[in-house]
Amino acid sequence: MMNSRAKIIITLIDRKGPNGCHRGHQIGDSYDFDTERGQLCPMAAHVAFPYIDILRYGGQIPGNPENRAVFCCPDVDTINVYRIEKLVSQDTERLELTPLTVKDAETVLTMAGKESVARYMRFSTLKSHSEAVDLILQLTAGINNAWLVTRKSTQEPVGVLALKQTEKPEMRDVTLFLDEPAWGCGLGQELLSWATDFASQTLNVSVLQAYVAIENTACQRLLSRLNYKLEKRFDFEDQSVLVYHRIIN
């Protein structure tokens, strides 16, 4: 019989109460519901149960992105805010994309802790586990979609892809970084092509936007091949950035 129990991750993403958590939980703490629920505050776990049952067995929570729910701890002095995620993988010809969670922090640190990987990104080279957690929380905030990318043939993580919320509901920002072993073999094109279809068919988004460092000529060539158009340029003290758009609907 097929196992219908999808993996559920619960992550503390914010705190709105005036006091620290009585259980000692901190923003960025993350728990696998099936194997680590005993580490979670019983009050928070009690509130989480109905959301988890709805998501795990095929339902959705109104007002939340697909396969997610956000809820608050009932302690009025703490008001921890948690996100529940049902992990549903996507795939391309060569790659598997699994929703990015704080559980992936060490993997992200291994990749984005390399200066060669981070040098063209809009974040500095990661130096610690906590910096990786902060980056993951940024990439997965709100209605953002983000995935850890794994090569099917080796099961090795090769990068991160994210489609991030903008001020325009019809537009998403694209973030993509790949580890060095994944360079030069067409994986970037494969991922961005998949992202275009996902944004159009699943998110009902009509425009994708990408910010590219002016020195990153390889990325500029890739975007041009995928019909992104150069829209504007920003010049800062330390870097010039090009902004590309692609209309997809």
Region 159-183: mean pLDDT is: 96
Question: Which residues have a Cβ under 8 Å from the Cβ of 154 and sit 6 or more positions away?
Answer: none
Question: Which residues have a Cβ under 8 Å from the Cβ of 169 and sit 6 or more positions away?
Answer: none
pTM: 0.93
| Residues 148, 97 contacting (CB under 8 angstroms) | yes
Convert the pLDDT of each residue in 195-218 to its tens digit: 999 999 999 999 999 999 999 999
For 1-128, strand residue ranges (E) read 8-15, 30-32, 68-72, 80-86, 90-91, 95-99
Q: Using pLDDT thresholds of 50, 70 and 90, give the confidence band for residue 86.
A: very high
Distance CA 230, CA 220 (A): 9
Convert the pLDDT of each residue in 109-163 to its tens digit: 999 999 999 999 989 999 999 999 999 999 999 999 999 999 999 999 999 999 9
Q: What percent of the chain has pLDDT over 90?
A: 93
The per-residue pLDDT of the chain, averaged, comes to: 94
27: tokens are 């923003």
For 124-206, strand residue ranges (E) read 145-151, 156-165, 171-178
Q: Using pLDDT thresholds of 50, 70 and 90, give the confidence band for residue 249.
A: confident
Q: Is the pLDDT of residue 2 over 70?
A: no
